[in-house]
């Protein structure tokens, strides 16, 4: 995963823990796109507490390659646009900070 995308997820960790819905339709979308493997989907599904399930999902997502973040956002965009908007805002802030820092280097 791109370092900026990873930073977006880390900075929004608490927000995602409070707001993310790990309904199977989102997880199977990510599985169909090759972001989640069968055993990872089974592992997430077997966890009983919502918080632990989200923690494990985010940990896996951050390790799943360059398309993981964009596919995650695509999966949630229609039904949970507020989550994707929050992540987009954070990403824009991070990119602006990075660009501002580079101007003085």
pLDDT of residue 101: 59
DSSP for 53-65 reads HHHHHHHHHTTS-
- The pTM for the full model equals 0.87
What's the CA gap between 4 and 58, in Å, rounded? 15
Residues near 44 by Cβ (< 8 Å), separated by ≥ 6? 22, 27, 36, 53, 56, 57, 60
pLDDT of residue 104: 42
What's the CA gap between 95 and 4, in Å, rounded? 8
In contact, 11 and 72? CB cutoff 8 Å: no
pLDDT in tens, the chain (105 residues): 999 999 999 999 999 999 999 999 999 999 999 999 999 999 999 999 999 999 999 999 999 999 999 999 999 999 999 999 999 999 999 999 888 655 443
């Amino acid at each position: 995963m791109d370092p900026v995308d990873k930073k977006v997820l880390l900075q929004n960790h608490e927000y995602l823990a409070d707001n993310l819905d790990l309904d199977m339709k989102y997880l199977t979308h990510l599985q169909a796109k090759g972001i989640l493997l069968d055993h990872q989907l089974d592992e997430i599904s077997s966890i009983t507490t919502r918080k632990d399930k989200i923690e494990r999902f985010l940990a896996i997502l951050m390790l799943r390659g360059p398309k993981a973040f964009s596919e995650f956002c695509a999966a949630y965009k229609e039904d949970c646009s507020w989550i994707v908007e929050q992540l987009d805002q954070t990403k824009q802030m991070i990119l602006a900070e990075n660009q501002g820092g580079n101007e003085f280097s």
